[in-house]
Structure 1
Amino acid sequence: MNETTQTQGTLRSEARIAHGALHRLRQDLFVDAFAFRPMPPLEDAKISRWVPWLPERIRHWARWLPHFIVGFFAMCVFLATFTTSYDVAPVRGLLAAGFSLLISAAPALTLSRPVGAFWLSLFGFAVSLVATASYSPAPYSSYGSGYRDAAFVTHLAVMTLVVLRTRPRLAVEMWLVTFGVGAVLTVLFGRGMGDLALVAIFFGVVLVSAAAVRAWREERRHVVETQTVTAEERSRRTLLEERALIARELHDVVAHHMSVIAIQAEAAPYRVENTPPELATSFATIRENAVAALAELRRILGVVRSEDPDAFADSDPEAPQPTLASLDSLLDSVRSAGLTVEAVITGAPRPLPQGVELSAYRIVQEALSNALRHAPGADARVEISYVLGGIGLRIVNGVPSRLAKPSPGAGHGVLGMRERVQMLGGEMTADHTEEGGFEVAAFIPVANTVGENTA
């Protein structure tokens, strides 16, 4: 029973292999056999490397040298076979001229339709075999043999060009089809075919050599592409290292000035006698904001200096980032700066992925900063909605009560918010309201949050 099962499994495996081979043969030689696949000219870099001494104009035409060689070969085949048609009877001469045109058209067709050129050449190859068997009486037997030899050489050249232009496995497929047809014709006519076995061996050696050259060219091209990608990755890594260096230098500069601001804000109340409480509160707020900015700089620098600087990873212990839980401190900071802001939270707050928490916090922070800069004296409202599929944000400010001072910013705030939202697969709008204010609305999807898992 086990031997029977093993035999059936072996037969099924062999059937699958045969079916796959027939499928590849059909895809390679039958599907879109006459599709237009033009042979491109040689690259200018290769021409310059091979013949750098040629003038520029000649090097431009040298790009088409393979096309010229193939066309010249096709013309030679036509002339060599066409001249023999004058020495035979008119009808046979006309047929011979048509045959000359048939076998000479196949090499030229390899420039645009390589697989179709194989079928055309195979047809000429079969016709030559039939003609050789038919030209039995003298003096026509010599003509048939000449046409057969010309067809053999042309068909070998066509198959070699097809292999060099397409893929190596076509060498085996075309060889099988060609000598399958030859074997069938040998059985049908039984004479005048020559030693087909020796011809098949010779064709096989030439096609295997052409397939090896094609495989070597593909491997070399793959190596060049790999080296190009490696060079690009190396350049990108160098650029990232340079940016990290700039970030560290920027941290040092900004941290120095923020430290000076914090120290001066802390020491200022002691330099003035009977400091008003309002002034002392303002200095304390300045110091707190400076210290908070220094803490943010240290966090960002920690991300830059880490070996895996993914600020949006859920398990990155080296990059502590603010979350929506610290939103109250942010609102207190902007209120102390003079912005009247109201926060409304709907839904049940729940833990979110760190990337979502960080992006939501940064969007609120940037929107309120824009309101401070561009809408002085206006009221702002922050709405945070915890819904089933994610989190919604809406930050809207009213009409400013006074003119805003020119801001030295680069104007990338809205763009940065939009990039954060798009990176997480969300949507965002930012536009003026009908009342003259400005509104930022965003939705960040959360596929599987902790709260949903525990529900």
Structure 2
Amino acid sequence: METTTGAPDQDWSAGAPPLSRYIQRTVRWARDFDLRRPWVWDLLVTLFWTGAALTDAAGGWRTTARDPDVPVWLVVTTSLALSVPLFWRRRRPLTALGVMAAAAAVGYGSGAFLQAAYLQMILVFDIALRLPPRTLVWPLALALPPLVIGAVRFPKESWDQLIVPTMWAYAMVALLGIAVRARRDHNAALVERAHRLEVERDQQARLATVAERTRIAREMHDIIGHNLSVITGLADGGAYAAAKSPERAAQALTAIGDTSRQALAELRRLLGVLSADSDDVDASEADRAPQPTLADLDALVDGVRAAGLPVRLDVHAAPEPLPLSAGRQLTVYRVVQEALTNTLKHARGAAPSAEVVLTYNRQALDVRVTDTGDGTGGDGERTGGGQGLSGMRERTALYDGTLETGPLPTGGWQVRLRLALEDTPS
């Protein structure tokens, strides 16, 4: 028996008129009940048509019979043989049709010409509905011989009146089964497509959530990591200068306060975007707050210098460079910020320093950040499994750029970023 897949937990009749919803629910309930207990429906169908066949065998068969003197016991037996096999119409349709065709041959050959022979059309419909199309050859081969036997035994009527109309009826029933099957398969395909679309929608939502979490984690790492490194450098310098130069210590404390307030402002902006209340004024203002650009590199370098790391910034721009998008400028800013933060945390040696060289023309933007650390203690930490290096690579990959990091032959560390401009092929 064939089973079909569907969506029993979904109500596809939503929005339909009340009568249509009631009919669809009833049909769905009957279909589900039939899938759970198919023998009940088969038994009801068999009992109904068996009763109809026996009613006809009680005497009505003589109105169409060619030989009214056929024994009643033969008529009853043939009627049962034409109706009882309906119980196996879905499990063994070809076998049941073979039994009914043999009974029909007996009926036509004896001259009874029982109307119960037309019950074979039910088997033809089920075969067209459930079995492969090539199987329809068998109903034709089984239904034709009884008609030929009747035409040969009782040739009073022409073949056009006996064989041709019946075979046309069988063909129409087969076409009806094929049409119902095509419609059912089409509906099943639509339901399956709807399910796939729901799964894809949920997957896209999960992927978007993961991507957003990654972006937020990257932004918070860049903001917190850089500012805490600057604050740590300022605090160490202030503690060292407290005993000898109270004025320098006071300057360090002031710089710590400014850096902390800047970090809090950036975090408030980032968290304001995540606010669930879209009507919140602070959240909307935070969403409109500008992101860092190339113009903010000077302030970034000044903050690192205040933390105790000498930094030199050189910008080499073409006379008329193409403008960079806000996303590319943010990528450059964050990469420089992360590189200088790593220098603050990991550079070793006597009085390390850093240099930022930005080359900007009509083809590409090239950024090179180097430091003069001796590489004895920081290189392994810089290539560890933290968020810094992976965040820089993710930002670079968004704009099809290249990022190179590693130690210099002369000592120290280098981070090099190259981004193509919008109208330049990668």
TM-score (norm 2): 0.51
Q: CA deviation at 1:211?
A: 2.8
The one of 354, 357, 363 equivalent to 2:326 is 354
2:367 counterpart residue number: 393
> Cα offset for 1:227?
4.9
Q: Name stretches of at least 5 consecutive residues in structure 2 with no aligned partner.
A: 10-31, 37-88, 103-126, 279-285
In 1, distance between residues paired with 2:267 and 2:408?
34
- Secondary structure at the aligned position of 1:305 is classed as coil
Q: Once the 2 structures are TM-superposed, how far is the Cα of residue 346 of structure 1 from its aligned partner?
A: 2.5
Alignment match of 2:172 (pick from 175, 180, 201): 201
Give the structure 1 partner of residue 347 of structure 2. Answer: 375
Amino acid at match of 2:348: P
Equivalent residues in 2 for 1:429-444 (5 A)?
429-444=404-419
Partner of 1:365: 337
Quick one: higher RCO (CA 8 Å, sep 6+), 1 or 2? 2
Q: Alignment partner for residue 321 of structure 1, among 291, 300, 304?
A: 291
3-state SS of 2:419 partner: strand
Query: What is the DSSP-based 3-state SS (H/G/I as helix, E as strand, rest coil) of the residue aligned with 2:290?
Result: coil
Q: Secondary structure at the match of 2:274?
A: helix
- SS of aligned partner of 2:358: strand
Other-structure match for 2:69: none
Deviation at 1:307, TM superposition (A): 7.7
- 3-state SS of 1:400 partner: coil
* 1:363-405 deviation digits (Å, cap 9, x = unpaired): 1100111111111343322222223233222222233377459
Asked if structure 2 preserves the Cα contact closer than 8 Å seen for 1:376 and 1:401, the reply is: yes
SS for the counterpart of 2:185 is helix
> Would the aligned equivalents of 2:97 and 2:142 in 1 still touch at CA under 8 Å?
no
Shift in CA distance, 202/125, structure 1 to aligned 2, threshold 3 Å: closer
Task: Name the CA shift for 1:133/1:440 in 2 (closer, same or farther; >3 Å).
Answer: farther
Map of 1:279 onto structure 2: 249
- Greater gyration radius: 2
Secondary structure of 1:444 counterpart = strand
Deviation at 1:128, TM superposition (A): 8.1
Task: Work out the CA distance in 1 between the residues paired with 2:308 and 2:252.
Answer: 11
The reply on whether 1:420 has 2:395 as its aligned counterpart is: yes
In the alignment, structure 1 residue 338 sits paired with structure 2 residue 308: yes
AA aligned to 1:394 is: R
State the match for 2:189 in structure 1. 218
Cα distance between partner residues in 2 of 1:413 and 1:405: 13
Letter of the aligned partner of 1:301 in structure 2? L
Q: Is the 8 A contact 1:339 1:376 kept in 2?
A: no
> SS of the residue aligned with 2:181?
helix
Work out whether residues 418 and 428 of structure 1, in 8 Å CA contact, stay in contact via their aligned partners in 2: yes
Question: In the TM superposition, what are the counterparts of 1:228-243 in structure 2 within 5 Å?
Answer: 228=199
What is the deviation of 1:406? 11
- Secondary structure of 2:332's partner? helix
Greater shift, 221-230 or 437-446, is seen at 221-230
Q: Distance in 2 between matches of 1:41 and 1:206?
A: 16
How far apart, CA to CA, are the structure 1 residues paired with 2:416 and 2:262? 26
Compute the displacement of 1:297 (Å): 1.8
* Cα displacement (A) at 1:240: 9.8
Superposed displacement of residue 223, structure 1: 4.2
Assess, with a 3 A threshold, how the Cα gap between structure 1 residues 431 and 405 changes in structure 2: closer, same or farther. Answer: closer
Q: By how many angstroms is 1:442 displaced?
A: 2.2
Question: Aligned in 2, Cα 1:273/1:399: closer, same or farther, shift over 3 Å?
Answer: closer
Secondary structure at the aligned position of 1:351 is classed as coil
Name the SS for the 1:334 alignment partner. Answer: helix
Distance 1:238 1:441 in 2: 31
CA contact (8 A) 2:379 2:407 kept: no
How has the CA–CA distance of structure 1 residues 80 and 371 changed in structure 2, closer, same or farther, with 3 Å as cutoff? farther
How far is the alpha carbon of 1:41 from its aligned partner?
A: 11
Identity %: 27
Change (3 A) 1:291 1:343: same
SS in 1 for 2:288: coil
Distance in 1 (alpha carbons) for counterparts of 2:96 and 2:409 = 81
CA distance in 1, matches of 2:421, 2:333: 15
Instruction: Please state whether the residue corresponding to 1:384 is helix, strand or coil.
Output: strand
Provide, for residues 323-359 of structure 1, a one-character-per-residue CA deviation record: whole Å limited to 9, x for no partner.
1111111112112223232323223255321111111
The amino acid that maps onto 1:373 is K
Closer/same/farther in 2, CA of residues 336 and 74 from structure 1, 3 Å limit: farther
Encode CA deviations 1:281-320: one digit per residue, 9 max, x unaligned.
Answer: 3223323322322232233233333889xxxxxxx96131
Matched residue type, 1:439: Q
Determine the C-alpha separation between the residues in 2 that align with 1:218 and 1:330: 58
CA pair 285-410 structure 1, distance change in 2 beyond 3 A: farther
Distance 2:256 2:203 in 1: 46
The amino acid that maps onto 1:352 is L
SS of alignment partner, residue 297 of structure 2: helix
Q: Deviation string for 1:206-229 (max 9, x for gaps)?
A: 223223322332333344445555
Contact 1:391 1:445 in 2 (8 A): yes
Q: Secondary structure at the match of 1:376?
A: coil
Amino acid in structure 2 at the alignment position of 1:421: T
**Do the aligned partners of residues 399 and 273 (structure 1) sit closer, same or farther apart at CA in structure 2, a change above 3 Å counting?**
closer
Partner of 1:442, secondary structure, is strand
* Structure 1 counterpart SS, 2:313: strand
Write out per-residue CA displacement over residues 225-256 of structure 1, whole angstroms, 9 at most, x where no aligned residue: 45555666777899999x79x99xx99xx8xx
Amino acid at match of 2:370: V
One-letter code of the match for 1:383? Answer: V
Asked if the contact 2:405–2:413 (Cα under 8 Å) also holds between the matched residues in 1, the reply is yes
- The amino acid across from 2:325 in the alignment is P
SS, match of residue 416 in structure 1 = helix
* Counterpart for residue 260 of structure 2: 290
Contact 1:389 1:447 in 2 (8 A): no
Amino acid at match of 2:186: A
Bigger mean CA offset, 370-379 vs 323-332: 370-379
Aligned letter for 1:216?
A: N
CA distance in 2, matches of 1:79, 1:392: 86
Residue segments in structure 1 that go unaligned for 5+ positions in a row: 1-38, 54-68, 83-106, 112-116, 146-185, 309-315, 450-455
Structure-2 residue corresponding to 1:313: none
